[in-house]
A and B are shown apart, each in its own frame.
Chain A
Amino acid sequence: MGFPDRIERIVEIANPPAKVWKALTTAEGLAGWFGNEAVIDLRPGGAARVAWAGGQSVDLRVERVEEPTVFGFTWHIYGLPEEDPRRTYVEFTLEPVGVGTRLTVVESGFAQLPEEAHKSAYDSHTEGWASELGELVAFVDAA
């Protein structure tokens, strides 16, 4: 099946790194393409939030700030319960190419295993047996 742990994209942008950097790391920039509103405390460990017109929002934690080449943050895995501690790490790398920028985005950590999944797999043998015995009993009872 191939469980993707890492997503990677490289795009060429016709604007210089300084301009791309602003779009990625300032509230005005992020509100221009990522969401409709944004706030960001641009330093490792700083908090950021991007919100959309529909009322949805996402919280980011800034991890790497190396102007104007590397910007990294972590965020919650979309679709998992709020209290789930797992996060993916997103890193943007900006590289000047002529007058433009080669932008690489890598998001990694999709294949982390939740604690509970480990536990369940260890248990599943016992549970499997319990259920097989239950099935046998049900079968005998039904006969």
Chain B
Amino acid sequence: MPPDVEAIAEQVFVALADPSRRSILAALASGGPATATDLAGRLPITRQAIAKHLALLTEAGLVTAEPGERRRVRYRLRSAPMQVAQQFLAALARDWDGQLDALREHLSR
């Protein structure tokens, strides 16, 4: 069963609602793939908590574990779910109300 867009977007927003997970995603976005140990060295989060967050993020499809040996497994950001969430935001940001006001104003000139 393919998932629906709503479920995917919801997972993104749930993931982003937590400051630790946001900082993990931000670290992967800015610094590229990293192991849990790398992340623990860079962020004020325990390695155990990082492992827990990475498991949730992997389940949500927001990060993917690169094949590698045990403690060297690197996690990388996956953009597809982010793009689904962006679609949701795009709908909210569309602002047809503003555009239509501009049209009316243009025609009344």
Query: Could you tell me which A residues sit within 8 Å of B by CB distance?
Result: 1-4, 7, 9, 11, 13-15, 19-20, 23-24, 29, 32-34, 77-81, 84, 86, 103, 105, 107, 110-114, 116-124, 127-128, 130-132, 134-135, 137-139, 141-142
Question: B70–A111 contact, CB under 8 A?
Answer: no
Contacts of A24 in B (CB 8 A): 103
Tell me how many residue pairs across A and B have CB atoms closer than 8 Å: 150
Contacts of A137 in B (CB 8 A): 70-71
Q: How far is the CA of A121 from the CA of B81 in the complex (A)?
A: 10
Closest chain B residue, CB of each to CB of A20: B107
The reply on B8 being an interface residue by CB < 8 A is: yes
Closest chain B residue, CB of each to CB of A77: B90
Question: A117–B84 contact, CB under 8 A?
Answer: yes
Q: Identify 21 residue pairs between A and B in the complex whose beta-carbon atoms are under 8 Å apart, listed by A's number.
A: A1-B10, A2-B6, A3-B88, A14-B107, A14-B108, A24-B103, A29-B106, A34-B99, A77-B86, A78-B93, A105-B96, A112-B87, A113-B2, A113-B84, A117-B3, A117-B83, A118-B3, A120-B61, A120-B80, A124-B60, A138-B51
Closest chain B residue, CB of each to CB of A32: B106
Question: B81–A110 contact, CB under 8 A?
Answer: no
Closest chain A residue, CB of each to CB of B64: A127
* 3 tightest Cβ-Cβ pairs between the two chains A and B: A33-B106, A116-B80, A131-B58
